[in-house]
Every structure is written in C-alpha cells, then in structure tokens.
Structure 1
C-alpha cells in the first residue's frame, strides 16, 4: 500500500495535526461519503430563486477610512471589505461566478458582487480562512495580486495552494495561536475554529482552517469564515485571550440538515450565542444568500436570526445580516 503524503504541508505533530491531517481536538470530524450520499439523495432541499438581487447598489468605497471609524462592506457570501485605521482588508475574496473548481458547473452566484473589482480601494491585506472553494478562489487571488499585490495571510498548507497559481504572492502562513505583528498598531492572530478543509476527495483536512483576530488602533475584530458551534468553546477562548470585540464577522447560514452540518456550520441561534460568548458589541453576519450550498431556503437564515435575537433580548441592529453592497459603519462601543 502506498504511504499517504500530505501535498500541502509537512510539519511536526501537534494537538491538532497528526502528521498527515489536521483535526478539531475533541470535535466532530466531517462526515464521509455514505453520509454525503444520504444527504444528497435523502433530504429535501428548499428551492432558491435563480436570482436574489440585493436591494443595495454596488458600492464604490472610499480609498480609506481613518480615525476611530470602522466600516464593513459586503461583497457576497464570506467576502467582506473591512476598512479601519487607513487599512483595507478583504476576507475570503471570491469574485468568480461559481464556488467550484469548474467554470461550467457548481454553485452559481445568485447576486452580483457588492463591489465591482475595478472599484476596490487599494487592498493592503487579504485573509484566507481555509481552502473550500467558496472561500479560497484562485482566480480572484490572482487578479488581486496583479492589481494590488496585497499581503495575504492564511493557515498552514493553504499557501502551497495559492503559490501554485500566484507564485509571486506575498504570503504569511500561520498556525493556531500564532501572532503576526504588522505596523501602525495592527496585529493578526490565528485562532481555532471548528471546521475542515478539502479541494478534492483525496486531500481532506490536509490544510488548516482558522479564525482571525485583528487588533487595530480602532478596536479588535474577530473574523470567523466558517465554524461549527462546538459548544461555544472557541468563542469563550477568544474572549478570554483577547477581551471583548468591537466587531465580530460571523457566519449564520449554510446549516441544514443539522445531522450533517452541525459539526462544521453553526445555525443562526448558535451564531447569536457565539456573539454573546465572545463579547462582540456588533456583528456583521455573512455566509448566506449568495451560493446555495445546503438545504435551507434562501431567507430562512434571516427569519431564524431575527427569532434568535428577539429570544436573547438583543437589538436586531447589533447583528446585521449583510447583503451585497451594504455598508455597515460599526459603532465604537456596544449599546448600553
């Protein structure tokens, strides 16, 4: 039998790496092929419209946002433009028409990007949380490098994937717990989240996934691209280590059926619990309404989020379910 080799990363065994694959300590591993077939052929999928246009026009962002201001503009799915303290940051940038390895097949966009790529301000930093196609889009990263040459930050192994397509990219590679000191008071921390990775059937969990904490002169931001709730342990650990956050960017869609998705994708009620557990003053909600990846209806996350916020006694405008083109100027302090 041929010995298995990790094509992306070679490093020492750790509490979340067994020498070949990464894993969630004490967590739920992604389900296998039999369960995937059971889901695809057994569970009812709600119909989505062919188009789900945003009520917001594509944004044309300012070149920079400075002082105490913090602005988030939704591009779509998990792609956010974060503008703070003179720096422009993109999370998990995807401008492609499909979240797929193929141009002709795979989940299509149901709405246009909320910022045209030509209208982007100079991009300083790109955060790539993991390698699923709805988060790591090589065509987009190549275009961003050609136009902006941003500094890219990504967890272990994902740099190998990016460099194969963008060999000249400037990339910092981080493990959970790593700290990356930039200039002007910016620090990037890589923190655990409960997810997994794969680009094909043979490389499951061979590149790491992570959340990021962004320290800025205008406050701390907690960015989570994808995660299962995992009892809230990662949220509580982030607050214990970093204190409360001015803003958390949290996913709240792509969660049905629960028996299949629970370990990897939190639902709206869990996202609200995560907001409370990490001490976020405000939340930019993402990961809904652009790519149909799971079974819930296109607006089901909105209704479930509103119900969860009302049940928890949280004002709805503190957890904003952002739509493409929507601009969120984040208040500096949590409401009283």
Structure 2
C-alpha cells in the first residue's frame, strides 16, 4: 500500500484529521452519543485518558503522510478456516482476524469486535482492505450469545457485520458508554457500561476496564464515545480483552489483579509504526509483553495484526517482534501466542 492510499484509508478508518469539525462540536458543547455526569475521564462532552496523551493532530498526520514509505504487504494470504464446536464448557479461543476472536467459555459463545467485511471503512469502495480471509466462515459460526465491543473505530465497530450477526444470532452486546447509540440501528440488544462498572451475563460477570486510546467515526466526533477493555470472570477463570491501547507507562495493566489470577489476556500487538506517531495509542509487541508481565496472567493472545494494513510495519513484523520480546523478558513462547486467522487454542488451566 503506498503512502497516499494509506493516508486516505487510515483517515477514513479512524477519523484522523477532522480538526475543524472537532473544534466546531466543542463550541456547540454537544455530544451526539452520550449524556452523563462529568467524571475523571469525561469532561461533559468528551472522554479522555486520565494522565495520558491525546491522539496526534493534523500536522503530525501530515508529517507521517510525507514520511518514509510503509512496508509492502501481500495482496492476500492463505487461511484454512476453523470449524468450531457448538459449545465448549471450558475455554477455547479461535482467531477470526484483526481484533475479532471467538471466545468459547463456560458454555457461552462470545465474539470480540466482530469484523467480517472486506474493508474497515465508512464506505465500501475505499478503505483498508482485508488481505486474510476470516478464520471462521460466517456460516460456520456457532450460536453467538454475546458480543464485546471495545470502541467505535471502523476496524472494531463494523456496522455491516453487526447487522449480519443480529439477523442470524441476535446476541446481546456489551460495550462502553456512547457506543450503544451507534449500534442501535442494528436492532441488537445493547448495554453500555463505564470503566469500573460490571454486569452479569449468564454465569459470567463482565467488567469494564480502562485502556489508553480514543474514538471517532467522522470528522467531528473525536472521543465522544468511550473506549476500553473487558474482564470476564466466572467458573472457568478470568479473561481480559483489550481491543486497542497504548502502553501509557503501564497504566492500563494496573489494578486488574483485583479480579484474581487471569487465565488469559487478549492483547493488541500491531499497528504501531512509526513509533513517534503511534506509540501513545498503539502499544508495540515488546510493550504487550511488559503488560502481560504486569498483569501476572498465565497465558496471552496477540491480536490486531496481519489482517488489514493500518500503519507502516510489515505484516509479519508484530509476530516476529513478539517472539523477540518474549525472549528478552524471559517469557516462554507457549504462554503468549500471536494467533493467525483460523488458529484455535484450548487455553490451559492455571
């Protein structure tokens, strides 16, 4: 993908560059997605990362736009799709692609940030294109009970896929504040929670936890819907899913020990180059390993790599850098896997 194409497609995917729209919306003092009290991460109009850094602005985007050429990705890669079991009583995870995983846990089937579309974009004729077919064919999905939706960027909140899932499975969605407004047209039953809030789903408890990121769907709605992660606790152990995060001096990994030993952490490892531009919002593989160690988790899955090109690094770079980071930090490679589409892993018990 050349620099001009990447600039256009990334801007379309995550709403970078809408500085004028952001200023106009702030002047009106209106948030179209969420109304609620001011908190330590909401100023009455926008959410923010406490003590963290905001996303880069237009000038930095242009500096990246005219910087070094990004690594070339293949046009397509071969995938052998998995055919998961209907139900699993313990804990098995199958990679679909990017941030989409099928978590089969305590008899429930859970999708994270479901994305089956050909592009991660507000339009169908442009935007980051999927190079790896889904690791599970949509028709081979088991009955889906729950969707965990981490934030509203187009590579995570894919409206077309949500319509498809609703038509076939009609699951419940648990997301963070404000995203329920965006999901409402799909007809999905949706519950939005804040950081620090919890809700029950069957035998599980779902807890909203912070990540260091941001949100946008267009030119004037930056950070008006909340982002974050989820901890699931229940009869087969505790699991953490983070859709996107910067390392932020390790803050997203602090305080999660209160949920008990984590059996599995699902952490992003891709879309991190160049570091001067991406580091505040997207951790790299070495930081993911550092986060894994801070968590004290037993096992981890690296996602957010190898399906769509958003940034400068080569397709396999996150996987290779994860392997190097595990060696550097003395972590056995079988504990932290960069799963590719179609891979399944029955997570060992603690």
Q: TM-score, normalised by structure 1?
A: 0.95
The equivalent residue for 1:208 is 226
Q: How far did residue 195 of structure 1 move?
A: 0.4
The equivalent residue for 1:61 is 84
Gaps of 5+ in 2: 1-23
Aligned to 1:142, the other structure's residue is in SS state helix
Q: What are the Cα deviations for residues 94-125 of structure 1, in whole angstroms up to 9, with x where unaligned?
A: 00000111101000001100001111000000
Aligned to 2:298, the other structure's residue is in SS state strand
Q: What are the Cα deviations for residues 273-315 of structure 1, in whole angstroms up to 9, with x where unaligned?
A: 0111111101111000001000001111111111110111111
The equivalent residue for 2:255 is 237
Structure 1: how far apart are the matches of 2:237 and 2:121? 35
Is 1:228 matched with 2:246?
yes
The equivalent residue for 1:187 is 205
Structure 1: how far apart are the matches of 2:194 and 2:235? 24
The equivalent residue for 1:6 is 31
Is 1:108 matched with 2:133?
no
Structure 1: how far apart are the matches of 2:57 and 2:318? 26
Structure 1: how far apart are the matches of 2:277 and 2:137? 35
Is 1:175 matched with 2:194?
yes
Structure 2: how far apart are the matches of 1:162 and 1:255? 28
The equivalent residue for 1:318 is 335
Q: What are the Cα deviations for residues 115-150 of structure 1, in whole angstroms up to 9, with x where unaligned?
A: 011110000000000000000000101110111110
Aligned to 1:153, the other structure's residue is in SS state strand
Q: How far did residue 43 of structure 1 move?
A: 3.3
Aligned residues: 325
Alignment of 1:52-91 (within 5 A): 52-54=77-79, 57-66=80-89, 69-91=90-112
Which residue among 277, 301, 304 is the counterpart of 2:321?
304
Alignment of 1:89-104 (within 5 A): 89-104=110-125
8 Å contact kept, 2:112–2:148? yes
- Runs of 4+ in structure 1 over 4 Å off: none
Structure 1: how far apart are the matches of 2:260 and 2:281? 25
